[in-house]
Amino acid sequence: MLQLPSLTITDRDESRFFLFDDLRLLWEHARGTDLLDKADKPVTADASGPGAGSADDGIGKKDLQAVLIADEHVMAAHRERINAAFPEDMVRCFEVPSGETSKSVSMWNRVMDFAFSGPLKRNTPFIAIGGGVTGDLGGFAAASLMRGLPLYHVPTTLLAMVDSAIGGKTGINHAFGKNTIGAFYHPRAVLFDTAFLETLPQREWLCGISEVLKYGYISDPGLLVDGAALADPATRTPELLQHVIERSVRIKSGVVAADARESGRRAWLNFGHTFGHALETLDNYRNINHGEAVYAGMIAALFVSRRLGYQASDDTLLQLKEKYRLDLRPYTSRAAELVTLMTHDKKNRDKDIRLVLVSAHGSPLITSVSDRSLMTDAWKYTFDVLMT
């Protein structure tokens, strides 16, 4: 059992993280028992917050039926394990279709209808099992139901384990843009069970690697090397995986604890994302997944960084392009549209485009750019280096 330091936002807002463990522990935690409190002590105590030793957190009743939503592909591959951990008579399960299109108003409404179709109280545990899509959708549903149900995440993809399950961002997409409907809502606990990654396709591994590399550029340059090694099945080991997940959790939770609602340094976590979200929106979330879009977006952001005089190499990213194999040909003549979509990004404060750049590896900065031609050049450079 390995428990990482908790993420505490306020005295009432704490997320607990547990690596490589039995799903039944999370179920016992949701039911209000103290199995998790009998686990190993945190790796360090400096980030633990008030109430870190309390497991019931207002839930209490051990016979309370939970609402569980799970990615349909995850259920198909791991149904026996999930059913063994969450007793059928104590859980109502809704299966979410895989893919970014499930982060929609219509799917959110279906989850809400399902939740209200059975017994529901303000202390009903809400458990989301899946990748970033299921976590974001489930988190927003939990935040909305009864003005907030206790939320538990079981991330099943590398991207969710190193990024989306941490930090309390929830949301769904709209035609106006990605994640433009949502709320900040922190889970009570997150359980990282790497057994789920045994069935993860290589493309989804790479999706998570993009977020690991992001941490390398904004915080720990060593993760550029570790992320590249994790991208290759030949150099991927359980020890490396554990190190990368643990380091990523520490980096993100540390940033979020200092800036829960993205008024300052939390914006660093958007490195590559302003470009990437525009590409996802133009693609209509069909052919390019989130991690691939962020991968391309980081290349573009590093280009802008260099044009503004900073020391920012994209060598690590370009060394991986044969693994990502992005086909951007449908978009090479649409750079102007991508720049327009970037102006719609919800992080912008005025007419300028707000970007996260790096002055050096591990040293992020936030800047506003008004020069649209620079953004266009960044896209053209990205298309050129990835398509040759």
- The residues assigned a catalytic role are 147, 169, 211, 252, 262, 266, 270, 273, 277, 290
The number of helix segments (H) and strand segments (E) in the chain equals 14, 11
Query: Counting beta carbons within 10 angstroms of the beta carbon of residue 283, is it exposed (0 to 12), middle (13 to 18) or buried (19 or more)?
Result: middle
Spatial neighbors of 238 by CB under 8 A, at least 6 apart, are: 194
Task: Report the alpha-carbon distance of residue 250 to residue 246 in Å, rounded.
Answer: 6
Residue count (the chain)? 388
Assigned token pair, 191: 């359980």
Q: What is the SS3 assignment for 39? A: coil
Do 66 and 90 meet the contact criterion of CB atoms below 8 Å apart? yes
Angle at alpha carbon of residue 21, lines to 227 and 204, rounded to 5°: 35
Assigned token pair, 388: 């040759």
Helix intervals (H) in 259-387: 273-283, 290-307, 315-319, 321-324, 335-343, 372-387
Assigned token pair, 121: 């109280």
Cα 32 to chain center, whole Å? Answer: 26
* Residue 345 half-sphere exposure toward CB, CA atoms < 13 A: 27
Assigned token pair, 386: 């990835």
Task: Report the alpha-carbon distance of residue 344 to residue 245 in Å, rounded.
Answer: 32
Do 154 and 129 meet the contact criterion of CB atoms below 8 Å apart? yes
Angle at alpha carbon of residue 327, lines to 321 and 333, rounded to 5°: 120
* Ordered DSSP codes for 290-323: HHHHHHHHHHHHHHHHHHTT-----HHHHHTHHH
Q: What is the SS3 assignment for 79? A: helix
- CA nearest to 386, candidates 335, 323, 339: 323
